[in-house]
């Protein structure tokens, strides 16, 4: 949690996200809090509990963007 006052607190129902906005112009997103709905007194009493999860997609962005700097240097003696 931020160390400054939270100005706004909004629940995005469609995405099950909790969004906090601070006075310092920052924001925090608790992504997909739907597993917290499974909390019951019985779950609190357990030593461990595995929550249901949704299928996730892996997204990867390579560090080099199609050729990198060498692509910019072609035909440009200054670079």
Mean pLDDT in residue range 2-18: 87
In a domain, 58, yes or no: no
- Higher-pLDDT residue of 66, 51: 51
Q: Are 15 and 29 in contact (CB under 8 A)?
A: no
Residue 5's pLDDT is what? 85
**Range from 27-31, 58-62, 67-71 that averages highest in pLDDT:** 27-31
pTM to 2 decimal places: 0.51
> Residue 5's domain spans which residues?
1-36
In a domain, 1, yes or no: yes
In a domain, 71, yes or no: no
In a domain, 48, yes or no: no
In a domain, 23, yes or no: yes
The count of domains in the chain is: 1
Predicted confidence (pLDDT) at residue 39 exceeds the cutoff of 80: yes
Predicted confidence (pLDDT) at residue 79 exceeds the cutoff of 50: no
């Amino acid at each position: 949690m931020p160390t400054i006052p939270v100005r706004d607190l909004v629940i995005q129902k469609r995405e099950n996200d909790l969004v906090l906005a601070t006075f310092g112009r920052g924001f925090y997103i608790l992504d997909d809090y739907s597993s917290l709905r499974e909390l019951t007194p019985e779950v609190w009493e357990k030593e461990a509990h595995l929550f249901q999860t949704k299928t996730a997609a892996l997204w990867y962005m390579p560090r080099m963007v199609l050729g990198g700097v060498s692509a910019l240097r072609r035909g440009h003696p200054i670079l």
